[in-house]
Amino acid sequence: SQQGEEDPQALSIQEGENATMNCSYKTSINNLQWYRQNSGRGLVHLILIRSNEREKHSGRLRVTLDTSKKSSSLLITASRAADTASYFCATGTSGSRLTFGEGTQLTVNP
Amino acid sequence: ETGVTQTPRHLVMGMTNKKSLKCEQHLGHNAMYWYKQSAKKPLELMFVYSLEERVENNSVPSRFSPECPNSSHLFLHLHTLQPEDSALYLCASSQTTGAQGYGYTFGSGTRLTVV
């Protein structure tokens, strides 16, 4: 069954604003990863957070993980037009493959 | 360039054709994957190879036939496809199989159109 489900499905903001995307999942996980996909291209790995971690930062990205609520959020601060892309969460469970959600389409308007 | 190269980038084929998709990685990864991405659907895992051995086949129709001659190369052989097989086919690699905590590196994909 599908693990990660992103929310919202689409998000449109102005350049300079922060963008927050959420991911919920159903079963226990080993780690959760966020990926970005520009239109028609492959996915690019952004950040990985393990189940025993609560928050992680990478540049303008901040990821949180709440295992009690089975949810994660990706925050992009000071967004740029170049951040326009689809963002996917993927959940990893011990001994199995990553399962991807349907993604959030982020549009950052100049 | 991610380190995972897929060719061709675009492919149009008739339902009676036979074609192959190619994926190459020189990252030293031991696991390679084929994913299918259709519009409005989550990525669908098709095949998993670990050290050249197929370890997973997710109920994929036999008209898709994978081949992994070595740990750096992965092929997807296509024959007698259907229009609903039109999609973006993505190859990915990772250090190991399983999801213990390694990110996947994806290629740019092959956009396949079946006419």
Q: Which of A1, A32, A45 to mutate to probe the B interface, most B CBs <10 Å?
A: A45
A103 is written with which tokens? 């993604």
How close A46 comes to chain B (CA, Å)? 9
Cα gap B108→A43, rounded to integer Å? 8
Tell if the CB–CB gap between A42 and B6 is shorter than 8 Å: yes
pLDDT at B42: 85
Cα gap B32→A26, rounded to integer Å? 26
Tell if the CB–CB gap between A45 and B90 is shorter than 8 Å: no
- The model's pLDDT over A17-41, given as tens digits with 9 standing for 90+, comes to 999 999 999 988 989 999 999 988 8
How close A102 comes to chain B (CA, Å)? 4
Please report which confidence band the pLDDT of residue A1 belongs to, taking 50, 70 and 90 as the band edges.
very low
Cα gap B30→B13, rounded to integer Å? 31
pLDDT at A20: 97
Radius of gyration of chain B (CA): 13
Tell me which DSSP letter residue A9 carries: S
Q: Which residues of chain A have a CB within 8 Å of the CB of B88?
A: 40
Q: Which of A40, A44, A101 is opposite residue B42, by nearest beta carbon?
A: A101
Instruction: Please name the residue that has the structure tokens 């159109």.
Output: B113
Q: Which residues of chain B have a CB within 8 Å of the CB of A87?
A: none
Q: Which residues of chain B have a CB within 8 Å of the CB of A91?
A: 99
pLDDT, tens digit only, all 115 positions of chain B = 679 999 999 999 999 899 999 999 999 998 999 999 998 788 999 999 987 777 777 789 999 999 999 989 999 999 999 999 999 999 999 987 655 678 899 999 999 999 9
Q: Which of A41, A45, A95 is opposite residue B105, by nearest beta carbon?
A: A45
